[in-house]
Structure 1
Amino acid sequence: MLFQQPEMRRRTVLEEKAVEAKEPQPSPKGGFSIGKILLVVVLALVSSAGGGVLSFVLIKQALPPVQAAEKAAEKSEKVEQEKFAELLEKSAVLPLEPFVVNLADTDAARYLRIKISLMVDDKTKLKDLAENQALQLKLRDVILESLTAKRSQDLINAEGKNKLRHELQEKVAVYFRAPKLVDVMFTEFIIQL
């Protein structure tokens, strides 16, 4: 019996080692395994790729309306430039003598010096307009009447000048049938304050 005990004991130790080798050992707590790291990397790559594809699709859908709007703006600008170039070819400018007027300010004497040119749509009639003294006098009268009714505060900013331009265009256009008045342009505009 004594001999059998060490053998049994030996078998038991060998069996234990074999059993320990077969059992999976638990990973240490709090550590990262390679499997977890790979999983995180793969998920990050997939989500980045998905975000890139989504961005591409959304941008591609948004571009056609923007490009269409840009093309329409370019086309309308080009048409406008062509119309203006055509108008310049046919039109002529009738410069008027400078105007120096007292403005309607009551607190102090204020003066306006202004040079006005009238653009008409027919070059061939310009000589007739320039030689027509009755028309020239009537235009000066209408313009002087409008200018003397203004105050310096009405004309000091761009909005006031544009209002004056439109007002003069309405009043002066009445005297133009052929050629037609296209624009009233200020070539000099000085207010003494």
Structure 2
Amino acid sequence: MFIKKFLKFTILPAALLAMAVTSAAAEEKMFTVINHTNSVIRVWGKSNDFKFGRIKPKTIADCTCNALYNKDCFDKKGEKAKIKLALESEDGTTLYSGDTCAKLYVSPGTYIDVTLDANGPNIKCAIVDKYEIRQPIPSFDEADSNKDGKIDEQEAEAIQLKTNFKDFDTDLNNELNPKEFDGAINKFNVFRGVPF
């Protein structure tokens, strides 16, 4: 009799606790970083020691926060996380954040677009809506899908570069050579997917 009561009051609460822990572990919260630079972006939380990791150039990566193991990742009241993003130097020791990337307050599900700052080695961060996201701009070799050494209008359309195509085609042959392609990419607004 005593054993039955003991088991009832110890095993049942333990089982309920285990279920609660499993449920909390499943509630993962994340934000997404789109790295449009040519270098690695480092992402970490500023309110704790949790390291989110490194995001390769021109990739899209989800940064996951688990409320069970990292309670400071997203604040319980405001549901926001304070994070920092920085561009790694080639030697891997110096970090360049710029004004817009050093202190970001993000909600779960936020999308952050990261580009190079035109004025110096820093990066620019902007929170954008999901519908505004464009895939990172490919290299010339990636854009040249038929490998003929030039970008035609069909290939340009595939990478959202058809708008104002003629403005970039300086020799007026309806194709972009590598130099013309670079000139177009330098005028490309990666936040909206259209040229400036």
TM tier relative to shorter chain: under 0.3
Q: Compute the TM-score of the two structures, normalised by the length of structure 1.
A: 0.25
Q: Which one has a bigger Cα radius of gyration?
A: 1
Higher relative contact order (CA 8 A, sep 6+): 1
Q: Compute the TM-score of the two structures, normalised by the length of structure 2.
A: 0.25
